[in-house]
Structures are given as C-alpha cells and as structure tokens.
Amino acid sequence: MKAIVVGMGVQGQKRKKVLGKDFVYSVDKFKKADFKLINQAPLEKYNTVFLCVPDSQKLKIIKYCISNKKNILVEKPLLANTTKELKDLEKSAVKKKVVLYSAYNHRFEPSIKKLKELIQSKKMGKIYNCRIFYGNGTSYLVKKSKWRDKRLGVISDIGSHLLDICMFLFGKKINRFKTIKINKFENKASDHALLKIEINKISIELEMTLCMWKNTFTCDLIASKGSAHLNSLCKWDRNSFIYRKRKFPSGKPKEKILFFKKGDPTWKEEYLFFKKLIKTNKKTNLKKDIIINSKFMELKKFT
C-alpha cells in the first residue's frame, strides 16, 4: 500500500501515524502538508487515499479518487443529498474495481466486539432492549469550528457511530426510527439528542451529547437470560465488560467482568481490516451508508 492522507486535522494525524511506512504524502489546504490539493499529488506515487475532510468536501474528492482508480478510506459519516448519489458512487467504485470504505472505528473496540460475540452465542436468550449513551465535552470546540457547528451537529458526528454500532450488533435493517428530543444548548446545530430505533424487534434508545463534561460511553443490554454492560472506551480509560447471568426465579445473578486496558487499538485494527478488503478484492458495498444517510435525511426537518 502507498497511501496519501487528505486533511491533516486530528483524524488525519491519527491515520498517518497508523500508516507508518505505507504513508507517502499529506494533503491539506490550510495546514502544513506536502500538497495543498489532491490533484497536485503525483498519481503514480500512491494507490490509496485516506480522506479526513469535512462532509461537504468528501463527495468531490471521492469521485476524483475513483476516476483515477484509487482505493479510499473516508472518515464517517458518508452523507449525500440523495440516495442516488451514494448508489452512483458504489456503482462507480465497483466498475473501477476500487474499495470505497467509510470508517467507523468503534466497531473495533474490544468491549463492543465482545458484546457481538455474546449476542451471536445466543447465551443471552431473547434480547428485550438496549440503551447506549455517548457523551463528550467538545461543545465549545465545535462552536469555535468554522465547519463543525452546522447541519445535524452531534447527530451526524456521534449519532452515526451509534447507528453503526447498532447495525453491527443487531442487524442492518432499521425498522423504526423516532426522534424523542433534539437540543441546541450551546451550539447552532444540535449538541444533544435522544433517538429511539428498532432492529429485529429490539428496542434501542440512543442518547448523544457534546455537553458531557467527562467523556462517557455506556451500553446496557437486557435479555431473557441475562444482561451485558459496557463502561467507557479504550481511548479514554480502562473499561469494563460485564455479563450477568440471570438467576431463576429471582436473585443475585452470576457476574463475569472483563477489563480492557487504556490505549486505543481501533485505528490499527481498522487499518488492517481495510487492507484486507483491498487484498481480497472486496466489492464496494455502501448499504450501511445509504441507510444511515436516509435516516439523517428524515431528521433534517427537525434541525
């Protein structure tokens, strides 16, 4: 792999670090980089692009990359004004035999992977409901940003992660999608939201905010034979995965606790996953992105 990174902000720097010797050039119009624009980078020197730019810039650059037969990892979310735009991108990528992959690194969190394994084992029985909370304290930083305090705000930023996690855990088809509450406490765009969705008859409540002064991630899943509880993410702190086996007819459940040390492994794991997609000539599939985009299009009238 010979890769360039377009957009040298926080995400771009992380991608560059993980790339190691596979990194070739950086591209950024406003920060220190090898080139200001992607069309200035010599095409023969790279075969892959890591795209870490604002949403409004993504589609144009992706089209440029596909037309020049470059594989693309684009930071989430991959959004468009219409479903047709994303379907056309998928079709073009398949035709040019390149991989277009939207990055959702939380899929590679150790605790989330462990929860996926537990669900697939069927040990929990029938899943009744799930609640996920994701909050950080970036409200003021977002407010100062020229491009982040716009459109759907926290819903597209954190909410896209939560929808992806739910589809990863429970299934790709979102049967119901309901807005409970959207707030703009400190920002022009939403900085707190509460959504309710349903996947495979599982009721899921999603709460997200930029106004949580200590970074917090929790997930509680209740099922007929027990429950599972996740606390925090590896990038912030040591975190726990708790599995409680239900005692019948009632009583204190047997509890198993796993701890995962602080240190974010998701960037490297996602990079290896992306490399495997390319190596195995995996056909581009934007079904997940099309679903997330369509749900966000429904929310535009509320924001």
Residue type, 16: K
Fold of 107-264: Dihydrodipicolinate Reductase; domain 2 (3.30.360)
The residue behind tokens 């759907």 is: 152
| Number of CB atoms found within 10 A of residue 47's CB | 17
Query: How far is the C-alpha of 276 from the C-alpha of 21, rounded, in Å?
Result: 17
Q: Give me the sign of the Cα torsion angle 270, 276, 279, 281.
A: negative
At which residue do the structure tokens 């939380």 appear? 106
- Residue 301 is predicted with a pLDDT of 60
Distance CA 34, CA 252 (A): 60
pLDDT of residue 151: 84
The pLDDT of residue 302 is 53
Q: For the chain, state the CA radius of gyration.
A: 20
CA 239-16-286 angle, 5° bins:
75
- Element of type H or E holding 240: strand 239-245
Among 175, 182, 179, 185, which residue's Cα sits nearest to residue 213?
Answer: 185
Torsion of CA 283, 288, 292, 295, to 10 degrees: 110
With 0-12 / 13-18 / 19 or more C-beta atoms within 10 angstroms meaning exposed / middle / buried, residue 131 is: middle
Q: What is the pLDDT of residue 258?
A: 97
Which helix (H) or strand (E) element contains residue 209?
strand 202-209
177 burial class (0-12, 13-18, 19+ CB within 10 angstroms)? middle
For the entire predicted model, the pTM comes to 0.95
The full set of domain ranges for the chain reads 3-103+269-283, 107-264
Distance CA 158, CA 161 (A): 5
How many angstroms separate the Cα of 147 from the Cα of each of 33, 142, 273, 293?
Answer: 20, 8, 30, 19
pLDDT in tens, the chain (303 residues): 999 999 999 999 999 999 999 999 999 999 999 999 999 999 999 999 999 999 999 999 999 999 999 999 999 999 999 999 999 999 999 999 999 999 999 999 999 999 999 999 999 999 999 999 999 999 999 998 877 888 899 999 999 999 999 999 999 899 999 999 999 999 999 999 999 999 999 999 999 999 999 999 999 999 999 999 999 999 999 999 999 999 999 999 999 999 999 999 999 999 999 999 999 999 999 999 999 999 999 886 655
As its CATH architecture, domain 3-103+269-283 has 3-Layer(aba) Sandwich (3.40)
